[in-house]
Copies of this chain bind each other. A is one copy, B any other.
């Protein structure tokens, strides 16, 4: 019996022109995993295109081989196979969904619980802490040795998708793979410095405002903060400066639900992080949003004064359900 990964490796060996697709709003795991696979496939003489609707966020510009990530495919490009990376549905490929669905062979690699199979070949592994774990295995199946560049791209995916080994998804295999990637030349400390230690002054200021404006509800089980457009202007905030703020709210003692409200024109963007079994996605779905049990988001009409009490009420409803489940 052949494993799914061995079948995928065989299919890739038999393909000449291969499309690799990141999910929209790309993160370190989708980018690192597609780049590692691209480098491995190129070493086998394949013609590879790496497509990312969101391009490459500045924090990942250091990734080896990043220059091959494109926002547009060459006119008339045709592929023997399309590989989607961390796309739980074809829609997560953004405007490349059409090119994926037109490919004669679709290969889906994903570790999200919410994945709905759509590939001719599927490597769906919810136990993996990152798609990079799956791709490391696949590259082994392909018979390609780990170059420093391939190892660096994989370790970027593994480290960023686990909050640098802090998330509950980390398993012993994740740590052993990280060790192996370091030995193959992946610079862990440099990856951490590039991704997490290049913050603009404005990002620290915005975090400062959010922390000072932190309020609690539900007897301390909910911590939330609001960033009006006026505050964002005062901080000189750049587009990505809000990333990570809701995670900082979640580190407070006793907090089970952390919520950040960001005013954005007439809308309010809501980021939700939870712990101890409280379902962030259940709160977000109340308002047409979605996500994972631990991390979700939604958008409500403004102003902040209208949006905040609605989301707090939904959070309290979910906390009561959680209490019932726990009893």
Contact = CB atoms under 8 A, between A and B. Distances in A.
B198 A253 contact: yes
Contacts of A178: 165, 172, 175
B165 A251 contact: no
A177 to B, nearest CB: 9
Contact of A188 (B165, B188, B207): B165
Contacts of A168: 189
A182 B210 CA distance: 35
Interface stretch (A15-23, A98-106, A211-219): A211-219
A112 interface: no
Given A170-B188, A214-B204, A253-B198, A175 B164 contact: no
A190 to B, nearest CB: 9
Interface of A: 164-168, 170-173, 175-176, 178-180, 182-183, 188-189, 192-193, 196-201, 204-205, 207-212, 214, 216, 223, 248-253, 275
Nearest to A276: B193
Contact of A199 (B164, B208, B253): B253
Given A165-B164, A211-B205, A252-B201, A182 B175 contact: yes
Contacts of A180: 172
- Most-contacted residue by chain B among A196, A209, A252 (CB, 10 A): A252
A213 B270 CA distance: 27
Contacts of A248: 204
Contacts of A167: 189
A201 B179 contact: no
A248 B171 CA distance: 28
Contact of A172 (B170, B183, B207): B183
B212 A252 contact: no
Nearest to A253: B198
Contacts of A201: 214, 216, 223, 252-253
Contacts of A188: 165, 170
5 contacts: A172-B183, A175-B176, A176-B176, A196-B251, A208-B212
Nearest to A170: B188
Given A175-B178, A252-B200, A189 B170 contact: yes
